[in-house]
Amino acid sequence: MSTSDQPSGDLTHVALFPSAGMGHLVPFLRLAAALLRHHCKLTLITSHPAVSSAESQLISRFVSAFPQITELKFHIVSLDPLVANSDDPFFLQFEAIRRSVHLLTSPLSALSPPLSALVCDVSLISSALVLSATLKIPNYVLFTSSAIMFSLFAYYPFVKMSDPSGDLIHIPAIGSIPKTSLPPPLLVDNSIFNKIFTQDGRRIKELNGVLINAMDAMEGDTVAALNSGKVLDGLPPVVPIGPLLPCEFENPEGKSPIKWLEKLPPRSVVFASFGSRTAASREQIKEIGIGLASSGYKFLWIVKDKVVDKEDKEGLEEVVGEELMEKLEEKGMVLKEWVNQEEILGHRAVGGFVSHCGWNSVMEAALKGVPVLAWPQNGDQMINAGLVAKKGVGMWVEKWGWGHKCVVKGEELGGRIKELMESDVLRARAAELKEEAAKAVAVGGSCDRAIERLIGRWSKGI
């Protein structure tokens, strides 16, 4: 391994190209921090205007923390939602960035020293391949979900033709995924998501490599299968670089719940939060409140009322309702703002996590050893929830279905929270994963070695 004594990355200049949404930006910036620890030179391509304030704020904190990086501000051409056939602001941004990528050829060619590699978001494959071919540099993807989800991404364009019927999708050397767990937008013909899956998925073989925030203890078997050629012949190397470590620069300003947690006994608090882009209906918000209040545990609940934070203007009391809010305040803490999730999950008072199972959240729970009550809301989250349950790090109540479609009653939720908080089995398994994760991120551990290998490849132009 090399840190300061053996600067391995000195000759390597890498451009990182994330797409929209915190779930994509966060892992890119954590990768950036890891590459900087290994002395890479970095250019970060930031797309403007960003969809959410959370993204703009995180980028500015990152750039201040690491003044040695070059930020390439990329002004994208905006897109007519009708043309793109979507009303999801993050997906519209995906498409707008995809269509603007050609504008980067000239600024990227002018960089000095010249680029050794491009690491782009999975949603940019087809346009980024043109870019990297023009620049004559290797093209890698940082896949921002699980390895099992990547196996679906790789295999789906082929399965669709060969097996249109049946309830399961069988992925060779991996196993079966129920069709009910597929990301709902994948099943919408001509959606941006469907297009990325079916068109870009076919081009994975043209990439030089795929980086995934995966670790052996959770997905070693899946990564091995992907690299064995048995899932699909000719896939590029899949490099597990996880768990990606949260960093100091991510700390938001604002009301930290840590002081409140400090006063509470170990594992006495359940943390409920649903990521950066999942807005619950008012009806569901009420039921979550009732559920938390009846669980018998203290709770820290992050309420999210709008998909995009800039539009989230109503106060907590208006959203939750005054009467319920009064009841909740006696038993827990309720916030409606961006919090430092990794710090919360790492606090000894937190004993359980009600999560939508966005992949970053799952990996953070594993890193901190917190058992999860999986409540998938949309996207890749049901596939991730299946993995959470299979690996014993949490429980998934399958009959709840998709959070964005069905309302779960407070009483039911409260009962499941109790089950989560009282399960010795889940707690023990989560503790084991935490140990495995600690080994992976230790100096000279599997994460360091993976980054070293990547830098070695990039320095040779592969």
Nearer to ligand UDP, 406 or 462 (CB): 406
Which of 55, 219, 364, 436 is in the footprint of ligand UDP by CB under 6 A? 364
Which of 38, 46, 88, 181 is in the footprint of ligand UDP by CB under 6 A? 88
Per rule CB under 6 A, is residue 93 in the interface with ligand UDP? no
Which of 359, 375, 396, 458 is in the footprint of ligand UDP by CB under 6 A? 359
Which tokens sit at 210? 């795929």
Q: How many residues bind ligand UDP (CB under 6 A)?
A: 32
Which of 13, 17, 18, 23 is in the footprint of ligand UDP by CB under 6 A? 23
Nearer to ligand UDP, 208 or 278 (CB): 278
Q: b/e map of 212-222 (b: 16 or more CB within 10 Å)? A: bbbbbbbbeeb
- Taking CB under 6 A as the binding criterion, the range among 218-226, 235-243, 333-341, 392-400 that sits at the site for ligand UDP is 333-341
> Which contacts qualify for 142-145: CB closer than 8 Å, 24 or more apart?
142/16, 142/18, 142/27, 142/28, 142/31, 142/211, 142/212, 143/210, 143/211, 143/212, 144/23, 144/24, 144/27, 144/28, 144/213, 144/359, 144/360, 145/359, 145/380, 145/383, 145/384
φ, ψ of residue 54 in degrees (nearest 5): -55, -40
Q: Of all helices (H) and strands (E), which one includes residue 61?
A: helix 53-65
Per rule CB under 6 A, is residue 339 in the interface with ligand UDP? yes
Question: Cβ of residue 290: shortest distance to ligand UDP, in angstroms?
Answer: 22
Interaction mask 185-214, ligand UDP, x per CB under 6 A: x-------x---------------------
Q: Of all helices (H) and strands (E), which one includes residue 116?
A: none
- What are the distances in angstroms from CA 382 to CA 6, 81, 356, 404? 42, 27, 9, 12
Instruction: Report how far residue 126's alpha carbon sits from residue 426's, in angstroms, rounded to the nearest whole number.
Output: 41
Per rule CB under 6 A, is residue 175 in the interface with ligand UDP? no
Among positions 377-396, residues that touch ligand UDP (CB under 6 A) are 377-380
- Taking CB under 6 A as the binding criterion, the range among 112-120, 215-223, 326-334, 358-366 that sits at the site for ligand UDP is 358-366
Question: Cβ of residue 201: shortest distance to ligand UDP, in angstroms?
Answer: 13
For 109, which DSSP code?
H
Give yes or no: 170 in active site. Answer: no
Per rule CB under 6 A, is residue 278 in the interface with ligand UDP? yes
Q: Under DSSP, is residue 279 helix (H, G, I), strand (E, B) or coil?
A: coil
Which of 16, 26, 272, 367 is in the footprint of ligand UDP by CB under 6 A? 26
For 184, which DSSP code?
G
Contact 394, 369 (CB under 8 A): no
Which tokens sit at 92? 């519209």
Nearer to ligand UDP, 139 or 361 (CB): 361
Per rule CB under 6 A, is residue 155 in the interface with ligand UDP? no
Which of 91, 143, 155, 156 is in the footprint of ligand UDP by CB under 6 A? 91
Active-site pick, 13, 38, 88, 121: 121
Per rule CB under 6 A, is residue 183 in the interface with ligand UDP? yes
Give yes or no: 24 in active site. Answer: yes
Best CA proximity match to 388, nearest among 357, 433, 412, 419: 357
φ, ψ of residue 36 in degrees (nearest 5): -65, -35
Instruction: Report how far residue 154's alpha carbon sits from residue 269's, in angstroms, rounded to the nearest whole number.
Output: 39
* Cα–chain center distance at 144: 5
Nearer to ligand UDP, 116 or 146 (CB): 146
- Taking CB under 6 A as the binding criterion, the range among 102-110, 214-222, 360-368, 419-427 that sits at the site for ligand UDP is 360-368
Per rule CB under 6 A, is residue 231 in the interface with ligand UDP? no
Which tokens sit at 145? 């979900």
Which of 277, 347, 416, 427 is in the footprint of ligand UDP by CB under 6 A? 277
Give the binding site for ligand UDP (CB under 6 A). 21-23, 26, 88, 90-91, 144, 183, 185, 193, 273, 275-278, 302, 338-342, 356, 358-361, 364, 377-380
User: Active-site residues: which are they?
Assistant: 24, 121
